Amino acid sequence: MKYVLNGIGMLFGLVFVFMLITVGVVSAANKPKRENEQILPGKGDTPKKAIIIYQPGITKVTTRIAQQLAAGLNEGGYEVTLNHPGKYLSTDLSGYDLIILGSPTYAGQLAKALTKYMEQVCPKLAKAPDKAPRLVLFATGGLEQTEEFDRLTHILSGLNVVRKIKFTPKKNEQIAYDLGIELAKND
Ligand SMILES: Cc1cc2nc3c(=O)[nH]c(=O)nc-3n(C[C@H](O)[C@H](O)[C@H](O)COP(=O)(O)O)c2cc1C
């Protein structure tokens, strides 16, 4: 009986530690990160402009996807700015022809740092008098389900969303690079 009770106690302890680690990981993943602007110069005198705003995750999968998207767009002639979502970023993105927003999925949601930024930026874009820039939303995750996008329908309404894509271990960096090339071609 003593062994059974000890076993149950250890099991609860392990579950508790696992939950603590999960909560810690999710809350760290949601927080804004430091500014990290990178600009890849485009081709020609007046290249089209894209901005990729992505929340870097813990294992750098999202960072690598963002960089491959940027490399594909840049190969297609675009000037590409990369940065992380945060207060330091302008909420006026009307100067860009293409806006790409991305984040890892943790516990079925995109990072709060990104969704908070989207709440500020997207209504302004929807009201812009000129032609709305194309917008791409991407997530990275281990699962094929895309409920994280469904949660953002209200924020994205009225915008020119041309693609919502989730990169899973099966859909990887080469696909991100090819998507960058494709987006640069179909402008
Ligand atoms: C605690 C935790 C929760 C996760 N929740 C989800 C989830 O709900 N859906 C999903 O598709 N992937 C989920 N994942 C997998 C991550 O989204 C995936 O590994 C992601 O590509 C990591 O990106 P990063 O390296 O940029 O952090 C989870 C991973 C961890 C560690």
Q: Is 103 in the pocket of ligand 1 (CB under 6 A)?
A: no
Answer whether residue 165 is part of any domain.
yes
**pLDDT score at 28:** 81
Pocket mutation for ligand 1, best pick of 17, 21, 103, 140 (most atoms within 8 Å of C-beta): 140
The tokens for 20 are 């603590």
Answer whether residue 4 is part of any domain.
no
pLDDT band at residue 10, thresholds of 50, 70 and 90? confident
Residue 99 is part of a domain; what is its CATH number?
A: 3.40.50.360
CA of 29 to the centre of ligand 1 (A): 9
Answer whether residue 179 is part of any domain.
yes
Which atom of ligand 1 is the closest one to the Cα of 145? 11
Q: Is 55 in the pocket of ligand 1 (CB under 6 A)?
A: no
**pLDDT score at 106:** 95
Count up the domains in the chain and report the number.
1
pLDDT band at residue 90, thresholds of 50, 70 and 90? very high
Percent of the chain with pLDDT over 90: 75
19 DSSP assignment? H
pLDDT at 174 over 90: yes
pTM of the full structure: 0.91
CA of 24 to the centre of ligand 1 (A): 13
Answer whether residue 66 is part of any domain.
yes
Answer whether residue 21 is part of any domain.
no
Which atom of ligand 1 is the closest one to the Cα of 21? 1
What is the DSSP annotation of 69-138?
A: HHHHHHHTT-EEEEE--STTS-S--TT-SEEEEEEEEETTEE-HHHHHHHHHHHHHHHH-SSPPPEEEEE
Query: How many Cα atoms occupy the beta-carbon half-sphere of 51 within 13 Å?
Result: 18
Answer whether residue 147 is part of any domain.
yes
Answer whether residue 24 is part of any domain.
no
Q: Which of 48-57, 76-85, 126-135, 147-156 has the lowest mean pLDDT?
A: 126-135
**pLDDT score at 19:** 83
pLDDT band at residue 171, thresholds of 50, 70 and 90? confident
Q: Is 108 in the pocket of ligand 1 (CB under 6 A)?
A: yes
Q: Is 142 in the pocket of ligand 1 (CB under 6 A)?
A: yes
Which atom of ligand 1 is the closest one to the Cα of 167? 21
CA of 129 to the centre of ligand 1 (A): 37
Range of the domain at 77: 31-185
CA of 163 to the centre of ligand 1 (A): 21
Q: Which of 23-32, 98-107, 155-164 has the lowest mean pLDDT?
A: 23-32
Residue nearest to atom 10 of ligand 1 (CA): 141
Higher-confidence residue of 111 and 11: namely 111
CB 31 within 8 A of CB 86: no
Q: Is 58 in the pocket of ligand 1 (CB under 6 A)?
A: yes
Answer whether residue 136 is part of any domain.
yes
